[in-house]
Amino acid sequence: MNSIKLLTVRGIPIRMHITFPLILILAAFLFGSGQSSWLRGAAFGVVVTLLLFVGVVLHELAHSLVAIAFGAPVKQIVLLPLGGVSQMEKVPERPYQELLMAVAGPVTSGLIGIGLAAVTILVFRNWFDVWAGFFRSFFLQLGDLKWSYVLPYLAFVNLFLAGFNMIPAFPMDGGRVLRALLATVMPYGRATRISVIIGQGLAWLIGLFGLIGGGVMAVLVAIFVYVGAAQEGRLTQVKMALAGLRVRQAFSRGVRALDPEASLGQAVDMTLEGFQSDFPVCEGERLVGMLTRTDVLVGLKEKGPQAPVREAMRKELVVAQPDDDLFEIQQRMAEAKLDAIPVVEGESFLGLLTRQDLEEVYRVVSVQPGLLREEV
């Protein structure tokens, strides 16, 4: 991923995506415009945006720490221009765990907001005037931004974050809360489907509201919510279909392997004969590399058909074991954009798990959910 590590908290790397500085430029531009001193407004915008992201990190850390407490590992937290994402390797199993994990973020933002609002009252003797001045300047563009507005601004935005995230629509935290609540009275799959429908309905409402009122932001938020809801729906469908299945139930055993000394021309011939397009490269039983369709094409272009497979193959391999969880491996393949990964036991090669295998399992299980599970 194109991101830079900032720090690590309790083993969770917090990273900044390379596009993150865009939000600072946008903030400088938006806060600077309309001010009597452009520079001061822009500086205000950059400072409050950086401080706001401290709040975003705490929000994401709250999600992550609860997830870890329930045994769901967190890969990293990534800061994007429009917010933070906690990337989890899996979601906590039980609905109440997912609920606690989801509400931890908005609760944290809410507490930060309330805390900062309380601080403004303690710090400013004329706190009412400060808040009124902030609202006038921020919402009505009446009067310049002052440094004394930093605290009210942060209090307000953290409270807004808490509220916005509780909208009951995926990909917002409120979508997970809704699903978890529904899942206490109905099966998880149905709870997800209903949450997706509610989320997309809300997206339509937000979008219509934006179109009528001419609010471009509202339309963008609507699209974001609609797509996010659809993605969550699909992900859950795949997860439910593959739940409890193992790699051994899906992978292809009758796979042709290539010798490292074979030529790329031979790989092309085998592909054209219709065997497969991704090849494990083996020395005897031992897997030494993978030659994907892309590797063949790149190798042909750079080295020609006579070049040996060993010069074009990849040696850093993502592999699966027969007892690995099928959904987790499917996610790993999707993340690495792989069409096939080798299945190994110890050093020895057993076969390939391909995208077609996964699609086949998905089709079978969608029609007959119990079929493959009975074998276990």
Kindly list the catalytic residues.
Answer: 60
| Min separation Cβ 161 and Zn ion, Å | 8
Considering only CA atoms, which of 271, 210, 230, 234 is closest in space to residue 362? 234
Give the angle subtended at the CA of 342 by the CAs of 337 and 346, to the nearest 5°.
135
**CA-atom Rg of the chain in angstroms:** 26
CA 58, distance to chain mean position in Å, is: 18
Q: Which residue is nearest to Zn ion (CB)?
A: 105
Q: Is the Cβ of residue 173 or residue 232 nearer to Zn ion in the bound state?
A: 173
Minimum CB distance to Zn ion smaller for 173 or for 278: 173
CA 174 to chain centre: 16
Contact pick of 53, 77, 157, 173 for Zn ion (by CB under 5 A): 173
| Residue the block writes with tokens 């850093």 | 316
Stretch that binds Zn ion, among 10-18, 49-57, 102-110, 219-227 (CB under 5 A): 102-110
Closest residue by Cα to residue 49 from 31, 29, 24, 68: 24
CB of 203 to Zn ion, least distance (A): 18
How many positions of this chain bind Zn ion (CB under 5 A)? Answer: 3
Q: How far apart are CA 29 and CA 46, in angstroms?
A: 9
String of b and e for 289-320 (b: at least 16 CB within 10 Å)?
A: bbbbeebbeebbeeeeeeebbbebbeeebebb
Q: What is the DSSP string of 309-336?
A: HHHHSB-S---B-TTSBHHHHHHHHHHH
Specify the residue, 6 or 58, whose C-beta has the smaller distance to Zn ion. 58
DSSP 248: G
Which one, 60 or 357, has the nearer CB to Zn ion? 60
User: Nearer to Zn ion by C-beta: 154 or 288?
Assistant: 154
Q: Closest approach of Cβ 59 to Zn ion, in Å? A: 6
- How far apart (Å, rounded) are the C-alpha atoms in residues 109 and 54? 11
Could you tell me which of 134, 19, 5, 28 has the C-alpha nearest to residue 83? Answer: 19
Residue range at the interface with Zn ion (CB under 5 A); choices 130-138, 141-149, 169-177, 286-294:
169-177
Give the residue with the Cβ less far from Zn ion, 61 or 352. 61
117: closest CA among 149, 164, 70, 72? 149
Query: Which segment (9-17, 172-180, 183-191, 219-227) binds Zn ion by CB under 5 A?
Result: 172-180
Instruction: Tell the smallest beta-carbon distance from residue 180 to Zn ion (Å).
Output: 14
Cβ atoms of residues 237 and 189 within 8 Å: yes
Report the alpha-carbon distance of residue 42 to residue 227 in Å, rounded. Answer: 33
Applying CB under 5 A, which part among 9-17, 166-174, 229-237, 310-318 lies near Zn ion?
A: 166-174
State whether residue 153 is helix, strand or coil. Answer: helix
Minimum CB separation from Zn ion for residue 154, in Å?
A: 17
Smallest distance, Zn ion to C-beta of residue 233, A: 19
Nearest distance from C-beta of residue 228 to Zn ion, angstroms: 12
Segment interacting with Zn ion, rule: CB under 5 A, options 114-122, 140-148, 165-173, 180-188: 165-173
Identify which of 192, 229, 191 has the alpha carbon closest to the alpha carbon of residue 207. Answer: 229
Q: Which is nearer to Zn ion, 23 or 177 (CB)?
A: 177
Q: Where are the alpha helices (DSSP H) in 141-255?
A: 150-165, 173-183, 188-213, 216-242
Q: Does 357 bind Zn ion (CB under 5 A)?
A: no
Among 41, 45, 95, 105, binds Zn ion (CB under 5 A): 105
Which residues are at the interface with Zn ion (CB under 5 A)? 105, 165, 173
